[in-house]
Structure 1
């Protein structure tokens, strides 16, 4: 295994629609604070601004930023000198005997060190990192591979698109289209959608291969929805939706924006978006402070249900 909507041609631009509920969306960008690739220049700025505006409108309150600064500092201390690269996940080596990590644990650093390996190898390592000891992890992995005979070549192309055009374009490739309404079936060109390999899984591959990408899964979607006070685009009736490329752009903006705001309360430390992601993933949902005292908490989702974001 290891070896515009305002375009002159009248067509709707990337990510006109956020999801199946028809909520408003725009064309995304991933630029905010110097991390990742600035793809605004190659996109319709009006739509890109909308993604940024949605993130800014939902930015952390001062109370939330202060709380998260403390949580991030405590999580950082647990990571030790290796930092985020040292964050490791346990897995069952009996089910993954073909992995080069034979001790039942795989770290972010070990997956990042595969950057020069084939995309198929990074796919496997990032999948194991994301799944850990989940009982159905190996069977789903085998299903993904058997259903995508050209998996390696497809992922090589997605990685190259991400390196050249940024994480939103790479996300759209694996998503299968520019928005929910025009999302194609798996294996339909010119997109790169892979059966049983939805955003909750493939953002882990993007995180390890495309600068500027971040992991987005069901736990993170629930926590961002609580902090922003808005489920729209992330959850529907407490279940994850198939996050569109536009929603992923909003998420990237929001996470980097959060890193800036939290860092102001964590002097002398600088908090990265990656540390925000890890801290939120580990946090108990009920412990996260609401934006305002009178805000209503969203429905508590099933933490083991990836919903529509799984496929």
Structure 2
């Protein structure tokens, strides 16, 4: 495994914007009508997103409400206009709503203190506890369950962050697309927490710069 104690951020990945601008106001275009239709059609609980866009702040504002409202916003934000696999995810939840509610509620609670434990609840072995809800999406749920707290220990780990950490930052043992073991997720959260301390910012500010990439990648 890569020795993460030696890993440092390249200049482009060091946060420069205020957290509110970079993180809170990070906006994604979504397909609101589709979410309203499919949630209603399956008679699922929670309130699907209504508008054409979602910011991170609008997603985590649902953290104090029903976990399903938080999940629909998380999935919509994470998917953008690309809805692949979301019908399967909703079908999996609709097949046993009480079980999904229990899992998500417990994972959201544990996410506030134990990233590895929260991750393990949703992927205890080689399979996801909720079919088609894999790490790239459920780590978003674990992150947003923190309600925007800068010190929330769970962070988003998806193929974008993993690829940038591997190819641009030196974590050569990190698989680009996952699924990742719970131990790897714990190492990831610990790494970003350490780097955030080094650069006097919040860990999700570093995840955000990894998402954005180098300036030439954004143009």
Give the TM-score normalised by the residue count of structure 1: 0.58
Q: Which residue of 2 aligns with 1:283?
A: 213
Where 1:106 maps in the other structure, the secondary structure is: strand
Distance 1:107 1:280 in 2: 17
Q: Which structure shows the higher helix fraction?
A: 2
Give the secondary structure class of the aligned counterpart of 2:54: strand
* Residue of 94, 107, 110 corresponding to 1:158: 107
CA contact (8 A) 2:12 2:214 kept: no
Give TM-score scaled by structure 2 length: 0.79
* 1:49-89 residue CA offsets vs partner (Å, 9 max, x unmatched): xxxx93213x216xx2x3333xx32xx27x8x655211111
Residue 169 of structure 1 corresponds to which residue in structure 2?
117
Q: Which aligned pairs between 1:1-311 and structure 2 lie closer than 5 A?
A: 54-57=3-6, 59-60=7-8, 64=10, 66-69=11-14, 72-73=15-16, 76=17, 82-97=21-36, 99=47, 101-136=49-84, 138-149=86-97, 150-163=99-112, 165-176=113-124, 183=125, 185-186=127-128, 193-210=129-146, 211-235=152-176, 240-261=177-198, 263=199, 270-284=200-214
**Higher Cα Rg, which structure:** 1
* Mapped partners of 2:48, 2:179: distance in 1: 32
Q: Is the 8 A contact 2:111 2:143 kept in 1?
A: no
1:167: Cα distance to partner? 1.7
Q: Measure, in 2, the Cα distance between the counterparts of 1:170 and 1:106.
A: 25
Q: Structure 2 regions of 5+ residues with no counterpart?
A: 40-46, 147-151
Q: C-alpha separation between the residues in 2 aligned to 1:245 and 1:159?
A: 16
Deviation >4 Å, runs of 4+: 284-287
* Residues 30, 76 of structure 2: 8 Å contact kept: yes
- Cα root mean square deviation, aligned: 2.7
